[in-house]
Structure 1
Amino acid sequence: MVLSATNEDVSLHAVEDTAAVVLPDPLTVEGVPFRRSNAGKFSGGLAAASHSDMFKHPDLNHKPLSKRWDHRLSAESKSRQATQLKELAKYLSKPGMLSLGGGLPSSEYFPFEEIDVKVPALDVGNHEEITMQIGKHDVREGKSAYDLSIALNYGQGSGSAQMIRWVVEHTEIVHNPPYRDWGCTLTPGSTCATEHLYRMFLEKGDYVISEEFTFATAVETSGPLGCRFIGVRMDDEGMIPSALDELLTTWDPISRGARKPFLVYTVPSGQNPSGATMGLERRKEFYKIAQKHDLIILEDEPYYFLQMQPYVGSDHPSPPAPKTHKEFLDSLVPSLLSMDVDGRIVRLDSFSKVLSPGSRTGWITASAQLIERFTRHNEVSVQHPSGISQIILHRLLDETWGHGGYLDWLIHLRMSYTERRNVLMKACEEHLPKEIASWTPPAAGMFHWIKLEAEKHPMFGKKSVKEIEDEILETAVQEGVLVVPGSYFKSEARKPLEARELYVRANFASAEFEQMTEATRRLGVALRKSFGLKE
């Protein structure tokens, strides 16, 4: 039995008939100022040491601790030690400390005094712009919590304290991980983070599990490390949990030439290339299989906030935009992180698809143990994302828009991508030959995955499916349209394409509406030519 009484600050949950405990509500956008005011003076000076617990709810004792993952860490990761010079930063927070110890150059010799950046106003729908002014000494002058004298100098492997505070709050607002000792650390984008994580968990010869079609760079990153991918059957909702279970239950290390795999790479929302999005029940089932086989899951989610309005057909208007932040957040499929009671999810977030790929800034969320290991790797490699990127993002997300303004921006993107998706769906319905082409309208992301009936090609049986795919690409190029062949995303590239695996991927994120429609018409012409169909 669960009895709940909620107000702005607490929830009352009955634990048994005679006892009750008061639990804090998940952090909300409105609760951030109150949280910060109660936290005391913010310390984010030069190369300031910080960690996620500084910015989370102070009492999470009602949540369990994560599992330990010593048995999953690679020998390389276990061998990493704290960087001694970075460790000294913890003493800089002591009042009155004068430092002659670090290797930091003086900001007085940085030839950057001020950066002005124009951005959309909080009300993104009115297309007005405001200018963010970022100065060298804004902290000293009481104008900001972050300035160029800090951002342009060396920092910690976790990223700046200012951005760590923001991403921790954002993660708590959106996902509220259900275990106690989670944390965040910044990354120079998810591709770099993926390479770090492979090295944290994998030994040479290991397999990584993914969908049978997956992000090509994730596969290519593993090769030089001596690792391989193995694909799991998928459907319109992505990886099929029963197929994953069968793969692992029947795994034979001798015939496979490798130990049973435990690392899964997946893009649950708007999967690249298929556009598939796992529903809530699929995610729950997937997580149970992960528990059964003690898996670590890399939840790569660059498209999470590009979940669109439901597709209701090209002749009907899409449902109206969410009216409140809560309505928007409630409309999102809950993340795997939000149901992770064990700390087995490593979530990769990125600003690349919602703000700017060139910012090269993202973050991971994982158990404190894994965050510590990841940070040790950062310290002796990338160190942290660009300071210029960090301070521009902080000034925008924290001091200009705030958490609420960022959610407003994401709602704006949701509706914009919905319109783009709908334009492409209409073009496909009008121009593609349905006797050989089929698709499921994507619910998230940037990609449209079009299945082609290989058996209906005039050369089927005489040519391989890969040769048919090559011929389709060549015909499309001759007609002046470029789409990506599905085989480019096959997780096990050495395996021959099967008849059921003939696909092309189209991107609806960047082309003008008229260009999308014309490109789809040209694709239709190319497909008819290739398959010998009449106009």
Structure 2
Amino acid sequence: MSPSAVDVDVKGVTDTTALVAPDPTTINALAAWRIKGAVPTGTAALSNSDMFKSPACFTKPKAKRWDHIISNEAKARKPSTLKGAAEYLKRPGMISLGGGLPSSENFPFEEISMKIPSPPGFSEEETRVSGRTVTAHKHDIREGRSLFDLEVALNYGQATGFAQLLRFVTEHTEIVHTPPYADWQCCLTVGSTYSWDSALRVLCERGDYILTEEYSFASALETAQPLGIRAAAVGMDEQGLRADALDEVLTNWDSKARGARKPHLLYTVPSGQNPTGATQSAHRRAEVYKVCQKHDVYIVEDEPYYFLQMQPYKAGVPPPSSRDEFLKILLPSFLKLDVDGRVLRLDSFSKVLAPGSRVSWIVASEQLVERFTRHFECSVQNASGVAQIALFKLLDEEWGHAGYLDWLIHLRLSYTRRRDDMLHACEQYLPKEVTSWVAPTAGMFHWIEVAWRKHPGFAKGLSHAEIEESIFKASIDRGSLLCQGSWFRADTNIPEDKMFFRATYAAAPANKIQEAIKRFSDALRAEFAL
């Protein structure tokens, strides 16, 4: 059964009063506020999301302050002296001899062309026939052809990203999530993995614990470990993170026994959770948010799979008939519920356009985005200019927000078909005596439970780890690779009671998915002597 996308009432409990968020910003309203704000087009031009938000944003309450959770490292960071000098470049007639920005004469790229789909013809075949070729030239701005060109994109930029793409993601955030407080900001980043690494540095100290699902994204855990940050596992069910389990961990936290202060940071993947594929319902998200309010916990919402929410399995529900309907059936993000400004949203183009672009963005209160910006100025500086201009040409100049939503609807249906192919194969081949699963409603992953105590080795004293490894190798020997569930355990000190394997339906075609599941089934039947 798919999680409900019902309206949710979450009340502020500190300096932000309860409020009812206005109707989501519509694409049709976008043009009205775009006219009022120009996009800075100069090299390394300063910009921020306030330039691109609708007037309605500024009528809302401001976020809470988060001074008490900002790390000593983050507090110590000062604004970049050299980046800050860019504010003087906007003065008319200014001749800059200050910054070390190379002349575009020495950029050996005169133009870059790409062939892209023309909505609604999104398939590869349709793109070959009816797709458009778009070109970014070196001097499009000065020649009046575009707001963005290679002269700017190939040079240094601000840590927040180039204004041209920052405008698009800011508008997109407001259209989809309508944050219910005034001073939210977006900042482009170099992929969500780096955003998460930065979040740990900005919000945690060595020795801290973070809270996360008992099975969590392996790379997220591996990012925290070298920083001396440990994970406290929170129980899950078919909807992912359990609010009651979160409350229990926090209420019963024993700082002396744990050797660390009570956690103040929750890392969660609410939609199509990696690795379990679980999706938190609207009601569950509201429950989790209220627990975080109760214990003053800050939420990092990692949502690469948010737009891979799918049609209900075997329910016969027609796909969304319009963009407005599509937006209405999407589950509310934590950002949409965030009356306190206690959510850092990690958003990304990786799962919906191209992982290799390494362009993502964060959304949080102005106070925290400012700290992240200081961190980026002295580390990655900014996301790739080549990737940013490619995304700008596709999303802003060609598709616009309407075309991008059409693409996301296309992805919803594509992933629905892939998920269905996976489930059909499991229903056809996997031995029901020893396997079970819940149909995923979002994301890329299918989480298969295996009744490991029925394995003949259990009676002979084999451990959970030994049986899991034996099944894994038997599947590998038959040419099918699934991930072991134990690879994703947040706290390896807690004995495993259940056994899982993770399969993904993101890349392989239907016939390959079917064959891989058949081979995994053969391995299970051999292992369990069925």
Give the AA of the match of 2:279.
T
Q: 1:289 matched to which residue of 2?
A: 291
- TM-score, normalising length from structure 2? 0.93
Q: 2:105 matched to which residue of 1?
A: 108
1:27 is aligned, of 14, 25, 28, to 25
1:49 is aligned, of 39, 46, 57, to 46
Are the equivalent residues in 1 in contact too, given 2:320–2:326 (CA < 8 A)?
A: yes
Tell me the secondary structure at the aligned position of residue 310 of structure 2.
coil
- TM-score, normalising length from structure 1? 0.93
Distance of 1:312 and 1:261 partners within structure 2: 41
**Residue 527 (1) aligns with residue 517 (2):** no
Deviation of 1:331 after TM superposition, in Å, equals 1.2
Q: 2:11 matched to which residue of 1?
A: none
2:236 is aligned, of 234, 237, 254, to 234
Distance of 1:54 and 1:157 partners within structure 2: 16
Are the equivalent residues in 2 in contact too, given 1:177–1:338 (CA < 8 A)?
A: yes
Q: 2:426 matched to which residue of 1?
A: 428
- Structure 1 runs (4+) deviating above 6 angstroms are 21-24
Q: 1:348 matched to which residue of 2?
A: 346
Q: 1:514 matched to which residue of 2?
A: 511
Are the equivalent residues in 2 in contact too, given 1:348–1:365 (CA < 8 A)?
A: yes
Q: 1:5 matched to which residue of 2?
A: none
Q: 1:195 matched to which residue of 2?
A: 197
What pairs up with 1:96-495 in 2 under 5 angstroms? 96-125=93-122, 126-127=126-127, 128-312=130-314, 318-461=316-459, 462-495=461-494
Deviation of 1:324 after TM superposition, in Å, equals 1.0
Are the equivalent residues in 1 in contact too, given 2:301–2:346 (CA < 8 A)?
A: yes
Distance of 1:330 and 1:470 partners within structure 2: 44
Give the AA of the match of 1:519.
A
Give the AA of the match of 1:112.
F
Q: Which has the larger displacement, 55-64 or 457-466? A: 55-64
Distance of 2:24 and 2:45 partners within structure 1: 27
Are the equivalent residues in 1 in contact too, given 2:21–2:180 (CA < 8 A)?
A: no
Identity of aligned residues (%): 55
User: Which structure 1 residue ranges, 5 or more long, are not aligned?
Assistant: 1-20
Are the equivalent residues in 1 in contact too, given 2:39–2:163 (CA < 8 A)?
A: no
Q: 2:35 matched to which residue of 1?
A: 37
Distance of 1:68 and 1:444 partners within structure 2: 33
Q: Deviations over 1:505-527 (max 9, x none)?
A: 00001001101111111111111
Q: Deviations over 1:129-161 (max 9, x none)?
A: 110111000011111100000000000011111
Distance of 2:317 and 2:355 partners within structure 1: 29
Q: Deviations over 1:282-316 (max 9, x none)?
A: 00000000100101111000000000011117xxx
Q: Deviations over 1:246-304 (max 9, x none)?
A: 10001010011000001111000000000000000000000000100101111000000
Are the equivalent residues in 2 in contact too, given 1:124–1:412 (CA < 8 A)?
A: no
User: Which structure 2 residue ranges, 5 or more long, are not aligned?
Assistant: 1-18
Give the AA of the match of 1:196.
S
Q: 1:60 matched to which residue of 2?
A: 57
Distance of 2:58 and 2:176 partners within structure 1: 20
Deviation of 1:497 after TM superposition, in Å, equals 2.4
Give the AA of the match of 2:163.
A
Give the AA of the match of 1:477.
I
Tell me the secondary structure at the aligned position of residue 134 of structure 1.
strand
Give the AA of the match of 1:438.
S
Are the equivalent residues in 1 in contact too, given 2:58–2:183 (CA < 8 A)?
A: no
Are the equivalent residues in 2 in contact too, given 1:124–1:408 (CA < 8 A)?
A: no
Deviation of 1:321 after TM superposition, in Å, equals 2.5
Are the equivalent residues in 1 in contact too, given 2:216–2:490 (CA < 8 A)?
A: yes
Tell me the secondary structure at the aligned position of residue 507 of structure 2.
coil
Tell me the secondary structure at the aligned position of residue 185 of structure 2.
strand
Cα distance change, pair 277–100 in 1 and its aligned pair in 2 (3 A): same
Tell me the secondary structure at the aligned position of residue 154 of structure 1.
coil
Deviation of 1:23 after TM superposition, in Å, equals 9.5
Tell me the secondary structure at the aligned position of residue 30 of structure 1.
helix
Q: 1:11 matched to which residue of 2?
A: none
Cα distance change, pair 59–309 in 1 and its aligned pair in 2 (3 A): closer
Deviation of 1:100 after TM superposition, in Å, equals 1.5
Higher RCO structure, 1 or 2 (CA under 8 Å, sep 6+)? 2
Distance of 1:259 and 1:354 partners within structure 2: 38
